[in-house]
Every structure is written in structure tokens, then in C-alpha cells.
Structure 1
Amino acid sequence: MLTATSDTSNHLSFVGIYDIPEAARYLNAAGTPELPAAFGAPKLIRWIRSGLIAPEQAETPGNELLINFYELISVRVIAALRQARVSVKEIKATERWLQERLGMEYPFATQNILTGQGQLFVEWQEVLVSGSRHGQMALEFLRGYLISVRDLAFDEHSDLVALWEPSEHVTLDPLVQFGAPCVKGTRIPTRSIAGMVFAGEPEDAVARDFALTIDEVRAAMAWERKLSRT
């Protein structure tokens, strides 16, 4: 789940930087029935090359490509839209409109996006609009037939996604541990917990050492196992 906090004074500082294989692993591990885990590094590179994500890096060699936290979230949203059969043309047109009309650098990490029947809508100032049609207002009754791109919530001041919860009890916060997966509400990386358990430390002992619950330790382990399979 993506959640937001109320403190965004430094939201563009220490935003978390991910290389392409790492980003693809997180996207795959966060797979759901609505968004199956089938997102590899080659696809992410293609999206960058085509300008769909991080267009300023379109000519950067593959082994030097890096994306930040907000670009990672944008990939997550765009992947969900593509899964819902929204065309690349519609996605790009909406992104352009949001960037030009609202001055947003990362539109898909800032706005509530809804989709249905292959179309894309944005909830803007409590009004449903079609960004690909230059902000044309949509009929309100359509809202009942649309699906919100899941796991997004926004800061009340900036509308910017502040934290991603890709799995229960696991979050990626760009201001914590450089955006690495951590146990929710802590600064404890899930990899630290996994390292101790894989080394033979009992789960209850790890929970005591980190002042966590058994459920939190097991959730961290479940996440790390997903990562190891991607």
C-alpha cells in the first residue's frame, strides 16, 4: 500500500535511488492478482528508452540507469494502467496534460488515478477529468464504474506519495534507509532481519533483538523470500 505523511518539507531530498534490477525485483515482489508479478528489468529499460519513464535517461547505458522513488511509484501505477488495458498513447497524453496544466514533475506519483474500459481519469479538485482529453470533465455517474489504481494515498498539502507499502508490514520510505524496504514504522531493513534468520537465529530471538512482533519478523521474511525468487 502507498500511504502519505503530512510532513513534505523535504520530500524531494534523499528520494531513494534504485538500479534497474533492484527496481524490477521490488515491482515483481509486490505483484497482486490485479497486477501480476511479471515485470522484468528488460521491460523497465524499454520504458525508459521510449520516454515513458525517466525520459532524460533515454540514451544512458543500461548498466548506468537509475530511477528515484517517485519514478519507481510511477512505474507501479503505469504498469497497473497497462494491465487494465489503458493504451500508452492515453497514458502519455494524461501525463503531458498534468505536467503542463498542473506543473507536476511526477504526475503518476501525485494524483489519484482511476481507470475503466481502457480509459484513464484523474480525480482533480474533487472533480473527475480526462487528462488525455485536455482536462475534459467526465460524467460523475462514471465514478461508480471506475477502479482506483490501488495502494495510493497522498499528502494533503503536496498530493505527493510519501511511502509505499508493497507488502504487509513492509514499507519503502524515501527518507528512511535511502528508500530500502524496512519494517513498517521503523528504520529496520527487512534484509537485516532476513540475514539473522537465515543465519539460524530463531524468529522469536530476532523479534526481541529488534523490539518487533513475531508477525513483523515473519512479514519481513515473507517479503525477502519474494525478492529472492525474482
Structure 2
Amino acid sequence: MDIYGGRDPVELPAYSIPEVARLIRVPQATVRSWALGRRYPTVDDRRKLFEPVIRIADAASRWLSFRNLVELHVLSAIRRDHGVRLGEVRKAVDYLRRRFKSRHPLADEQMQTDGTNLFVERYGELVDASDQGQMAMKVCLSSYLDRIERDARGAAIRLYPFTTSREEPDRRTVVIDPRVQFGRPCLSGTGMPTAVIAERFLAGDSPQEIAQDIGLSSDAIEEAIRYESRAA
């Protein structure tokens, strides 16, 4: 039985803006600006729409797909350490869109090869970033791109969100897979939602008790709790 109606779950509108903000730990206002654009005042007291950076799955209902989630995960790499000038970021993404002939260049496999250099160089030109600043952006982007798992065609199929910091790049305890639990964060390889584990912990169960009940290590349980507490 095809529960997706013949559609690729990667493309289905599955996440609200508040949920995306929680999953990638970015303010809702920032996600809204990236996904929907933003109106700003002009000198003649009119309000002009600043175009969104990405193209979301369902603009009418303001719901985003897993692919959109991956795009915003990549964008959050720049925002976290370098700040974001929305106009310049959109221009840099538009440049990649034309160069790669892709609607979602930030989520494409090319972003992990020449895309990173092209994006940083283009963005760096627009904001007059130093060589050192551009190199720092490339390193930061690479660490975020490494959290994306791809299939044989290069399409993003899973995202391993950071549960602590980029200083622990090999920790992949939590996964977001659009084909498992409708794309909600789970412990890798189990299908167990991290939200369920966090609820049990808040209800008074210890990590050791939860681990024993579901047959996982205490470390994995603590990682799930940590992720949910940081995402809250």
C-alpha cells in the first residue's frame, strides 16, 4: 500500500514553519523570512515584499517538505556563525539555481562538491567578505552538508541534526527520515521518536529505565533527550 499516493515523501509538505524552526534550532522569524519572504518599508512609506530564499512545497498553506528542511539546515550554517544578509543570500542561491538548473540547489549533491565554493565565492563578493571569512564559511557549510545522507542518485534522503555541536561531527544518534514516522526525529535505526523518549523522561522515567525498556543504550537515550531539550 502506497501511503504517499505515488508522490516522493521527500517532496511532500510535512512541516510547519514553527516545527522547522524547532528542528534546526533557528528562530521562527528567520525561517519565515527564508521560506516566505518578508515585507519591509520603503522611503515612500510603502511596503515591499522581499522574495523568499527557497521555494517551499506548499506556499498556500505555508508547509515545507523534507527537501526544504534540508535547504534551511544548510542555510542555518551561515546564519549561526556568520550572520545572514537576506538579499545577498537570495542572490547567491539564485545564482546556484541558474548554474545547476535546479529548483533546490542547496539540497542537491552538487552543493557538496563545487556548489559550496560557488556559493561562498558569490556570497563573499556580494558582502565583501575577506578570504579568511570565506574559508570559515566553507568549513562551516561542509560540516552541515556532512549531516545529509544521499541515495545513489545523490538525492537527500536523511538528515542527521546536530544534537550537541559541530565539534562532534560523527555523532549520528538522531535522524530525520521522511519515510520513517512521517519525518519526525527518531533514534537512528530504531524508528523510535525522540519526542516519545523525552516525554517519558519528563514524566519521571530515568534514561536507564527507558533504555532497558526499549533495548537501547543509556547514551542513545540521553542523546535523544538532549536533542529534544535543545530543540524545545
1:198 to 1:87, Cα distance in 2 relative to 1, 3 A? closer
Q: Using the TM superposition, name which of 144-153 and 211-220 deviates more.
A: 144-153
**Given the two structures, how large is their TM-score scaled by the length of structure 1?**
0.67
Write the distance in 1 (CA, Å) between the matches of 2:83 and 2:70: 19
**Given the two structures, how large is their TM-score scaled by the length of structure 2?**
0.66
Match of 1:21, as an amino acid?
Answer: P
Write the distance in 2 (CA, Å) between the matches of 1:195 and 1:130: 40
Q: Secondary structure in 1 aligned to 2:20? A: helix
User: What's the counterpart of residue 177 of structure 2?
Assistant: 173
Alignment of 1:164-203 (within 5 A): 164-166=159-161, 167=163, 168=171, 169-203=173-207
Q: Which runs of 5+ in 1 are unaligned?
A: 1-9, 29-38, 114-121, 134-141
User: What's the counterpart of residue 158 of structure 1?
Assistant: 153
Q: Deviations over 1:61-83 (max 9, x none)?
A: xxx42111111121121232344
Write the distance in 2 (CA, Å) between the matches of 1:85 and 1:42: 14
Q: Deviations over 1:72-121 (max 9, x none)?
A: 121121232344356545533443343334332311012465xxxxxxxx
Displacement of 1:56 in angstroms is: 7.3
User: Percent identity between the aligned chains?
Assistant: 24
Match of 2:8, as an amino acid?
Answer: L
Match of 1:53, as an amino acid?
Answer: I
Aligned length: 189
User: What's the counterpart of residue 128 of structure 2?
Assistant: none
Q: Is the 8 A contact 1:27 1:76 kept in 2?
A: yes
Displacement of 1:27 in angstroms is: 1.7
Match of 1:12, as an amino acid?
Answer: D
User: What's the counterpart of residue 40 of structure 2?
Assistant: none
Write the distance in 2 (CA, Å) between the matches of 1:218 and 1:209: 14
Q: Using the TM superposition, name which of 102-111 and 204-213 deviates more.
A: 102-111
Aligned residue among 141, 144, 147 for 2:139:
147
Greater percentage in helix: 2
Q: Is the 8 A contact 2:21 2:28 kept in 1?
A: yes
Q: Is the 8 A contact 1:15 1:174 kept in 2?
A: no
Q: Is the 8 A contact 1:15 1:178 kept in 2?
A: no
Alignment of 1:89-168 (within 5 A): 89-111=87-109, 113=111, 123-124=113-114, 129=118, 146-149=138-141, 150-153=143-146, 155=150, 157-166=152-161, 167=163, 168=171
Q: Is the 8 A contact 1:112 1:152 kept in 2?
A: no
Aligned residue among 69, 74, 77 for 1:72:
69
Q: Which runs of 5+ in 2 are unaligned?
A: 1-5, 38-50, 123-131, 164-170
Write the distance in 1 (CA, Å) between the matches of 2:219 and 2:70: 26
Q: Provide the alpha-carbon RMSD of the alignment.
A: 3.4
Write the distance in 1 (CA, Å) between the matches of 2:55 and 2:135: 33
Q: Is the 8 A contact 2:10 2:65 kept in 1?
A: no
1:218 to 1:11, Cα distance in 2 relative to 1, 3 A? farther
Higher relative contact order (CA 8 A, sep 6+): 1
